[in-house]
Amino acid sequence: MAEISSNSGLQNLISQYGTDRAKAKAGVDADASTTSESSSIGSQDVFLKLYIEQLKNQDPTAPAETGDMVSQMAQFSSLEQLTSMTEQMSTMSASLISSQALTASTLVGSYVYVDKDSVEMMEGGSSYVKTSFADDSVSNQLRIYDDSNKLVKTVNMTEEEYLWDGTDASGNALPAGEYSFVATSTNSAGEVTQLTTQVPARINGVSINGPDGTTLNVAGYGSLSLTDELDILG
């Protein structure tokens, strides 16, 4: 006769009555139990059949302890809940990836601010430049240089975002080329601090479910994670 110790639980039930022989005696198809989720030890139907078989084969002079029975049922209930939670998490994960892919795809063709201090300008073109003023600043300045590092324009910034129209200090249109920006902040003591600049860059594509999750492929910059704080232009 099978004997149930005071510390037995679901694992003891499986070890004693989870064999193919015990399953066959209990009316459970051993082959189906290994191939069908509904006939696995995590199935309520299989568990109850094995549990009944255990009760039928217990020593009548030493019946199962009530605490052991409750423990087995509680452990099985926990197993069922964990299995259900795993399935729900998998479904949520798939839905999240799908949602991220949809969100990312709508951004293709848009422009996002990236940490960069230069832009490629077309003749007659324009570009936004963005920075963050220091907390103690009393004045902020933006200097614009051409590809030969010649200063072509100086702007006193009153807003953190500035639209440069592609002209020099005299208002003349500048030729196409690469132009760079240097933003500085001056406090009341006359101390000058260089600021980080951001310029718009085009989102050319999306990489879904890669090593870094869903990322945006940004022209002239690289990749940005969709979970980063993004500042989309417009």
77 CB-near residues (< 8 Å, 6+ apart)? none
Backbone dihedral angles phi then psi of residue 50, each to the nearest 5 degrees: -65, -35
| Residue 157 in this model has a pLDDT that exceeds 90 | yes
Helix (H) / strand (E) element for 12: namely helix 10-17
pLDDT tens column, 73-123: 667 667 667 777 777 777 676 666 666 666 677 888 899 999 999 999 998
User: Given this model, what pLDDT does residue 187 score?
Assistant: 95
How many CB atoms neighbour CB 101 within 10 A?
14
Q: Report yes or no: 104 and 208 within 8 Å, Cβ to Cβ.
A: yes
Helix (H) / strand (E) element for 223: namely strand 222-225
How many CB atoms neighbour CB 26 within 10 A?
17
| Residue 220 in this model has a pLDDT that exceeds 50 | yes
How far, CA to CA in Å, does 41 sit from each of 49, 69, 82? Answer: 10, 17, 14
Taking the C-alpha atoms of residue 177 and residue 191, their distance in angstroms, rounded to an integer, is: 33
User: Given this model, what pLDDT does residue 38 score?
Assistant: 43
Q: In sequence order, which ranges of 106-152 are alpha helices (DSSP H)?
A: none
Greater pLDDT, 72 or 6: 72
Q: Where are the domains of the chain?
A: 10-102, 112-200
Q: CATH for 112-200, among 1.20.1540.10, 2.60.40.4070, 3.40.50.460, 1.10.630.10?
A: 2.60.40.4070
pLDDT tens column, 200-213: 999 998 887 777 77
Backbone dihedral angles phi then psi of residue 221, each to the nearest 5 degrees: -135, -50
How far, CA to CA in Å, does 124 sit from each of 147, 165, 179, 209? Answer: 17, 8, 13, 40
What is the average pLDDT score of the chain? 77
pLDDT tens column, 127-150: 999 999 999 999 999 999 999 999
For 105-176, strand residue ranges (E) read 111-115, 118-121, 127-130, 137-145, 151-156, 161-164
User: Can you give the pTM of this predicted structure?
Assistant: 0.58
| Residue 13 in this model has a pLDDT that exceeds 50 | no
If you search the block for the tokens 């422009």, which residue do you land on?
Answer: 111
User: Given this model, what pLDDT does residue 95 score?
Assistant: 61
Per-residue confidence band for 193, with pLDDT thresholds at 50, 70 and 90: very high
User: Given this model, what pLDDT does residue 104 score?
Assistant: 73
Rg (CA), the chain: 34
Taking the C-alpha atoms of residue 131 and residue 115, their distance in angstroms, rounded to an integer, is: 9
